[in-house]
Amino acid sequence: MKKQTIKEILQDYKKVLHHDITVYGWVRSFRANRFIALNDGSTINNLQIVVDFENFDKEIISKISTASSLKIVGEVVESQGAGQTVEIVAKKIIILGDNFTEELQNTILQPKKHSLEKLREQAHLRFRTNVFGAVFRIRHALSFAVHSFFNQNQFFYINTPVITGADAEGAGEMFGVTNFDLNAIPRTEEGEIDFAQDFFGKKTNLTVSGQLEGETAAMGLGRIYTFGPTFRAENSNTTRHLAEFWMIEPEVAFNNLEDNIDLAEDFLKYVIQYVLDHCKDDLEFLDKRLEEEQKTKPEKERAKEGLIEKLQNVIAKRFKRVSYTEAIEILLNSKENKKGKFQYPIEEWGTDLQSEHERYLVEKHFESPVVLFDYPKEIKAFYMKLNDDNKTVAAMDVLFPGIGEIIGGSEREARLDVLKQKMADMHVDEHELWWYLDTRKFGSVPHAGFGLGLERLVLFVTGMTNIRDVIPFPRTPKNAEF
């Protein structure tokens, strides 16, 4: 018979009631030498196993402890106790793997409360905890929903290169890729590094964005999206930045800025609704966890709404759409700015917004997700469409409560001459991007797209506060363990 997960057993228990079944899992707890809480990762809920120890070899019973892996054959019965509908009365117990009890003492598998920092140090074991089980099941559901949304809307999934020969993506500092012997790097006569002798015959990097390649695909396939690993060598040690993260980048031919904002809003609402519909148990667990955590905070700092409520509210309302110019007005006139409460005071039109400003707009002023658009051209990338005012570009950022920027995108500059001028102004090498310029030569069309960092989305949906806790093995400055 096909193996059943604990999730299936608990969901369809009527089918197996009073039958003998086989279950597999890890012991979460073993109470009174009688009750095992068994978990196999398929759900946050444990399956209760009742052990009548008189029927079993004492040695087996003595070996069962937290973290033991077991195969159990037993009868499914209605539960006597509260807290579960069914339980298994064990008939046969097989210990699958040894438990090194002494070493277990030093791990996070010890059943007591561990800090998230401690759990991070043992990231290879944290999948066994309730919190990380919930986070990674939700991360999966979000990823699945991303594909599902785009597939339903006739987008094609395109894989853009991880190793890029384009040095000019302009989205951030890059990690170089080389197979030179670092102790003997070949030099040219002028003393420069001779990349002609490197593996690819040129300087290559890890991608910071698949957009430019994505645009070329959209110019033939119409609606495309990428969803892949993305790398940025910025030394920003924040709770919202990773050196390696997963970015989703749709690109759509014939879309303008407004279409792009509509797409971003529909997309975010779809994937959040998907998780509300499919991850109820995990969300409820995280909601309760957050509620407990709130109680330890001073009243002023507590969140106004619970996790699930927060997600429902984001879906219910239309996002506020505000131009950069309006946003600057609001910030300039804010009490916070006048009283010098911002770390970076807003002085004039043209300054880049920091996350404190974004969060002020979202959390204090509008109390709603906000889409800012039409940014000053100087603070945005070269490929964004120049507006008729000659001062702003058709950029858009989606700002979320607790996160700040979750999406950044734009309508692209489709006019070859304007694009070339912008590249020259911003010192982007035209020759390097010859293939990109080709897209503006043969049937150029208006098009638009955006980038969403999956981890920022998972942060928002799970209510976790550090981005290192929503990716299995985080890569950050000075940290690439595992």
Interaction site with Mn ion (CB under 5 A) = 408
Binding test (CB under 6 A) with ligand ATP, winner from 4, 456, 462, 474: 456
For ligand ATP, how many residues bind (rule: CB under 6 A)? 16
In whole angstroms, the minimum distance from the beta carbon of 397 to Mn ion comes to 6
Measured from the CB atom, is 11 or 355 closer to ligand ATP? 355
H or E element at residue 47: strand 47-50
In whole angstroms, the minimum distance from the beta carbon of 114 to ligand ATP comes to 25
In whole angstroms, the minimum distance from the beta carbon of 468 to ligand ATP comes to 10
Measured from the CB atom, is 279 or 471 closer to ligand ATP? 471
Distance CA 232, CA 421 (A): 27
Residues 215-254 that bind ligand ATP (CB under 6 A): 232, 241-242, 245, 247
Establish if 120 lies at the interface with ligand ATP (CB under 6 A).
no
H or E element at residue 49: strand 47-50
Going by C-alpha positions, the residue among 477, 473, 50 that lies closest to residue 232 is 477
Find which of ligand ATP, Mn ion, none residue 452 binds, CB within 5 to 8 Å per kind.
ligand ATP
Q: For residue 372, what are the β-bridge partners?
A: 322, 397
Q: In what order do the strands lie in the sheet with 370-376?
A: 156-157, 223-231, 244-253, 447-453, 404-411, 392-400, 370-376, 320-323
In whole angstroms, the minimum distance from the beta carbon of 250 to ligand ATP comes to 12
Distance CA 452, CA 460 (A): 12
Measured from the CB atom, is 41 or 172 closer to ligand ATP? 172
Q: Which residues of 227-246 are buried (b: 16+ CB within 10 A; e: fewer)?
A: bbebbbeeeeeeebbbbbbb
Q: For residue 94, what are the β-bridge partners?
A: 71
Tokens of 359: 């969060």
With vertex at residue 205, the alpha carbon angle to CA 414 and CA 236, rounded to the nearest 5 degrees, is 90
Residues 406-445 that bind ligand ATP (CB under 6 A): 406-408
Find which of ligand ATP, Mn ion, none residue 362 binds, CB within 5 to 8 Å per kind.
none
Question: Could you give the string, one character per residue 156-185, with x where binding to ligand ATP holds by CB under 6 A and - elsewhere?
Answer: ---------------xx-------------
Binding test (CB under 6 A) with ligand ATP, winner from 74, 446, 453, 474: 453
Kindly give the pairing relationship between strand 370-376 and strand 320-323: parallel
In whole angstroms, the minimum distance from the beta carbon of 211 to Mn ion comes to 11
Measured from the CB atom, is 52 or 266 closer to ligand ATP? 266
Binding test (CB under 6 A) with ligand ATP, winner from 133, 306, 449, 451: 451
In whole angstroms, the minimum distance from the beta carbon of 257 to Mn ion comes to 15
Distance CA 346, CA 328 (A): 8
Find which of ligand ATP, Mn ion, none residue 455 binds, CB within 5 to 8 Å per kind.
ligand ATP
Q: Who's near 385: CB < 8 A, 6+ residues apart?
A: 257, 393, 394, 410, 411, 412, 413, 414, 446
Distance CA 318, CA 93 (A): 55
Going by C-alpha positions, the residue among 12, 73, 3, 75 that lies closest to residue 40 is 3
In whole angstroms, the minimum distance from the beta carbon of 159 to ligand ATP comes to 18
Question: Could you give the string, one character per residue 371-410, with x where binding to ligand ATP holds by CB under 6 A and - elsewhere?
Answer: ----------------------------------xxxx--
In whole angstroms, the minimum distance from the beta carbon of 231 to Mn ion comes to 16
Find which of ligand ATP, Mn ion, none residue 453 binds, CB within 5 to 8 Å per kind.
ligand ATP
Q: Find where tokens 């009548």 sit.
A: 52
Q: How far from each other are the two terminal CA atoms of the chain, in whole angstroms? A: 36
Residues that bind ligand ATP (CB under 6 A): 171-172, 232, 241-242, 245, 247, 405-408, 451-453, 455-456
